[in-house]
Amino acid sequence: MGKIAESERIIGHYRGAENGPLVVAIGGIHGNEPAGVLALERLFEMLADEPRLNPGFSFKGEFLALRGNLEALALGKRFIDVDLNRIWRPLEGRPDQSSTSEDHELHELLAAIETAVEEAPLSELILLDIHTTTAQGGIFAITGDDAPSLSLAAEMSVPVIKGMLSGLQGTTLHYFRGNHFATNLPVRAISFEAGNHEDPLSVDLALAATINLLRALGCVKDEDVNSFHDQLLRERAANLPRLTELTYVHKIDHHGGDGFQMKPGYKNFQPVLKGELLATDKSGSITAPTDGYLLMPLYQKQGDEGFFIVRNYKFPLAY
């Protein structure tokens, strides 16, 4: 029991006394988003300290935390050659092996996860992929549309976005939901956006959300490993829509010298109206094709999506 491995790639691998889920958490899949890495490093310090503060402490299952894009993290860039969160495909579906810096990163991440899956007496496999955004405002979780992932994300006490997988390809969520690991056990996958890249509170929010996930899974008890940031997490989530679904993605074509420029001042979950001028590119004005809430307006050079629009999700009526 306790911390069993550590390396440049592995932030920590905590093996509890009782069998339970294997929780894989990744920070820094994008190298300019270090908040997730810092939060996971702090969580491992807390786990190491917990038995001293709380002699009755025990952990159920295993917790493996990984640094995502090492090269890009060292340079503080989103990626070196290609976006590491767009290339998660099984080996046979990847074009030219190890041709880019990110192919190498993906290979190492998958090796670490596959080893843990093979070794762990797991009851379930869970992914938590922690990100931050260039825009201000708004924390949220993105999941597949499977009910078990959605309900787990809701238990983190943060807004949840449905339908994002249809708007993207090759993300960590696609890979985990796609049954590519050597296990027949259930797999749930959640990606958490912890706030703005530079906001120091994004680290606290990522830490609180990760602990909420471990609590929801029964890995730790409610009274254990207290980050003291739950209140902050609830405050940040308080006025945001609880459950929304993707309605539109604006894709950027970098090869065509797109010239995408988001209008300044937009925030996550900012309400927009159909026809509102949101951005410009070489073809001219880009307006909102529909009413909704804006998500992840892009205020950096690297990135394939200019913005997303989501709307309140209404549960389908039974009859």
Binding site for Zn ion (CB under 5 A): 30, 33, 131
Spatial separation of the C-alpha atoms in residues 220 and 239, rounded to whole Å? 28
Query: Based on CB atoms, which residue is closest to Zn ion, 72 or 117?
Result: 72
Classify 171 as helix, strand or coil: coil
- How large is the angle between the packed helices 230-238 and 201-216, nearest 10 degrees? 100
CB burial of 163-184 (b: ≥16 within 10 Å; e: otherwise) equals: bbbeebebbbbbbbbbebbebe
Q: To the nearest whole angstrom, how small is the minimum distance from the Cβ of residue 68 to Zn ion?
A: 9
Residue 73, burial from CB neighbour count under 10 angstroms (0-12, 13-18, 19+) = buried
Query: Based on CB atoms, which residue is closest to Zn ion, 78 or 188?
Result: 78
Q: To the nearest whole angstrom, how small is the minimum distance from the Cβ of residue 98 to Zn ion?
A: 23
Q: To the nearest whole angstrom, how small is the minimum distance from the Cβ of residue 31 to Zn ion?
A: 9
Query: Based on CB atoms, which residue is closest to Zn ion, 137 or 148?
Result: 137
The closest alpha carbon to 19, from 152, 124, 127, belongs to: 124
Spatial separation of the C-alpha atoms in residues 81 and 65, rounded to whole Å? 24
Instruction: Write out the H or E segment, with its range, that includes residue 284.
Output: strand 284-287
Q: To the nearest whole angstrom, how small is the minimum distance from the Cβ of residue 33 to Zn ion?
A: 5
Q: To the nearest whole angstrom, how small is the minimum distance from the Cβ of residue 85 to Zn ion?
A: 6
Query: Based on CB atoms, which residue is closest to Zn ion, 15 or 131?
Result: 131
- Residue number of the CB closest to Zn ion reads 131
Classify 81 as helix, strand or coil: coil
Spatial separation of the C-alpha atoms in residues 299 and 319, rounded to whole Å? 44
Spatial separation of the C-alpha atoms in residues 74 and 64, rounded to whole Å? 21
Query: Based on CB atoms, which residue is closest to Zn ion, 13 or 30?
Result: 30
Query: Based on CB atoms, which residue is closest to Zn ion, 157 or 196?
Result: 196
Record the tokens describing residue 79, joined without a space.
Answer: 């990626």
**Residue 269 to residues 113, 136, 207, Cα–Cα distance (Å):** 33, 10, 22
Query: Based on CB atoms, which residue is closest to Zn ion, 30 or 162?
Result: 30
Q: To the nearest whole angstrom, how small is the minimum distance from the Cβ of residue 191 to Zn ion?
A: 8
Q: To the nearest whole angstrom, how small is the minimum distance from the Cβ of residue 162 to Zn ion?
A: 19
